[in-house]
Structure 1
Amino acid sequence: MQFDMKVASRDKVGKGVARTLRREGKIPGILYGQKECLALTLEPTEVRRILHSESGSNSVLNLKISSGKGETKRTAMLRDYQVDPISGAILHADLFEVAMDKSVRVRVPVAVTEGTPVGVAEGGVLQHNLRELHIECLPGQIPASIVVDPSLLRVNQGIHVKEVPITSGIRILDDPDMMVVSIVAPISEAKLEALLAATPVGAGPAAPEVIGKKLGEGEEEEAAAAPAGKAGAKPAAAGVAPEAKEEKKEGKEPKGKEPKAEKKK
């Protein structure tokens, strides 16, 4: 899908300029061209119109860029955009220039046809294993979605990537053996009860083992405020308490004196 879009180029860049544009109700943007990058000013309504379209960010944009030197035309696609998490306003948009005769790589959503598959009517459950496919094609050939039909699938059957029907000129880059959609057998009540019985109610994961003693808030401040030892002093060996050193000192005999031998009776 293609859209005509009017934008304006600007010479001033930076955070201050971007804030000013947002206060004026505009969206700052950048066009990453094949030879140069242009700073743009976009209309929020135009960007939202593209995002809410069937093709979304995969739409091809026919840009009409107005500047002091006149009007130029470029072909681009919406590469990325930033949204305010609170207000939902679009804060910035990145566009990249494309050539209609050169292939691009995009991700396209997978759509499933309506209707009840045979396997689901037999009691199975439809699983949508892949929500999108990575494809390569010309910009004008990008589909809004890739449709798969699981209506003939029975239980324990599925459609792989290599079995997905695509039009000429489109190449799927995903693993050919990956499952796109499948029909699986439902879990039995006996198996569900066995799984519930194996996991006691209220049982949670085991508490992690605590290695070492954690200092309290006051102890941490005291440790941080303690003055460093004198220069040249060796630190005490890890795991040796001061009391153990004192006992070792008291038990040491003076040099030059040997203990008296016990007299034999």
Structure 2
Amino acid sequence: MAELISLKATARARAGKGAARQARRDGNVPAVIYGNQETPETINLEYNELWKQVLKGRFTSTAIEIDVEGKKHIVLARDVQVDPIRDTPLHVDFQRVGKDGVIRVSVPVRFVNEAASPGLKRGGVLNIVRHDVEIFCPYDKIPSFFEINLEGLEIGRSIHASALNLPEGISTVIKNRDFTIATIAGALKGDDDSASTTDAAAAPAGDAKAAAPAAGKAAAAPAGKAPAAKAAPAAKPAAKK
């Protein structure tokens, strides 16, 4: 399970672009905390501390505890605006975790034992339908990832949501159907067709080479002296009266 990220922040008295620019000039990243039917709060985060957490990965899928001058908030980063050139954070939107502590988050899916899948050994392809699965879970029990074992799977088999090992208190957002996560697909028909086309194209080429000498002889015949045509039989003389 993922651990809570801890960040310290200071309250930002003014909102707007001017205040946000000033915060960046001071080496901070402007942010806002909203949700849970409470008044939004504008804050400043220390740039270096925030950037360290972003570089670790999974920043938007890990619960965060923000200490705003002694007042603590449990939040989830919903949007991180970055500089289009330097790719550094410019602004962060945080959503408060509700009183029940349950949040909606996307968790990545990992596939293991590909070498033990007979279908993949025979040339099948792992067709991933969902790289992430959305779940409802307590903020302090977010799984790092879901693991799916491909051992023994043949071509044509599908992996559904029911194959996920969901811990207690965690459920998928989609509840009305056992949705597909991945399939073991067979080789594309285009591959077989292209091979057949190649063989078919090769056969006439060989026949053409074999027929080439005969064609050359036939073409050379008119160039030489044409054989004399057989003379028609002479007419019999008319009978004397």
**TM-score, normalisation: structure 1:** 0.66
Unaligned runs of 5+ in 2: 199-241
**Partner secondary structure for residue 91 of structure 2:** strand
Q: Which amino acid aligns with 1:5?
A: L
Q: Which amino acid aligns with 2:7?
A: M
Question: What is the correspondence of 1:20-39 to structure 2 with a 5 Å cutoff?
Answer: 20-34=22-36, 35-39=38-42
Please state how far the C-alpha of 1:45 moved relative to its aligned partner. Answer: 2.7
Question: What is the correspondence of 1:54-203 to structure 2 with a 5 Å cutoff?
Answer: 55-66=58-69, 71-99=70-98, 101-116=100-115, 117-174=117-174, 176-188=177-189, 189-192=191-194
Across the two proteins, how many residue pairs are aligned to each other? 192
1:46 alignment partner, one of 49, 56, 69: 49
Structure ranking higher in helix proportion: 2
**Structure 2 partner of 1:262:** none
Structure ranking higher in strand proportion: 2
Range with greater deviation from structure 2 (141-150 or 44-53): 44-53
Q: Which amino acid aligns with 1:45?
A: N
CA distance in structure 1 between the partners assigned to 2:140 and 2:82 by the alignment? 28
Please state how far the C-alpha of 1:65 moved relative to its aligned partner. Answer: 0.9
In structure 2, relative to structure 1, the CA distance for the partners of 1:48 and 1:114 (3 Å cut) is: farther
**Partner secondary structure for residue 141 of structure 1:** coil
**Partner secondary structure for residue 140 of structure 1:** coil
CA distance in structure 2 between the partners assigned to 1:77 and 1:162 by the alignment? 27
Please state how far the C-alpha of 1:115 moved relative to its aligned partner. Answer: 3.9
Please state how far the C-alpha of 1:79 moved relative to its aligned partner. Answer: 1.4
Identity %: 26
Please state how far the C-alpha of 1:54 moved relative to its aligned partner. Answer: 5.1
Contact 2:81–2:92 (Cα < 8 Å) also in 1: yes
In structure 2, relative to structure 1, the CA distance for the partners of 1:120 and 1:39 (3 Å cut) is: same
CA distance in structure 1 between the partners assigned to 2:112 and 2:96 by the alignment? 34
Query: Could you list the per-position Cα deviations for residues 139-159 of structure 1 after superposition, in whole angstroms to 9, with x for gaps in the alignment?
Result: 112111111111221111121
Q: Which consecutive segments of 4 or more residues in structure 1 shift more than 4 A?
A: 193-196
Structure showing greater radius of gyration is: 2
Unaligned runs of 5+ in 1: 197-265
CA distance in structure 2 between the partners assigned to 1:164 and 1:194 by the alignment? 41
CA distance in structure 2 between the partners assigned to 1:30 and 1:147 by the alignment? 34
Query: Could you list the per-position Cα deviations for residues 64-122 of structure 1 after superposition, in whole angstroms to 9, with x for gaps in the alignment?
Result: 112xxxx2122111111111111212110011111463321111111112541221112
**TM-score, normalisation: structure 2:** 0.72
Q: Which amino acid aligns with 2:177?
A: P
CA distance in structure 1 between the partners assigned to 2:65 and 2:12 by the alignment? 19
Contact 2:113–2:150 (Cα < 8 Å) also in 1: no
In structure 2, relative to structure 1, the CA distance for the partners of 1:139 and 1:163 (3 Å cut) is: same
CA distance in structure 2 between the partners assigned to 1:30 and 1:75 by the alignment? 13
**Structure 2 partner of 1:4:** 6
In structure 2, relative to structure 1, the CA distance for the partners of 1:176 and 1:192 (3 Å cut) is: farther
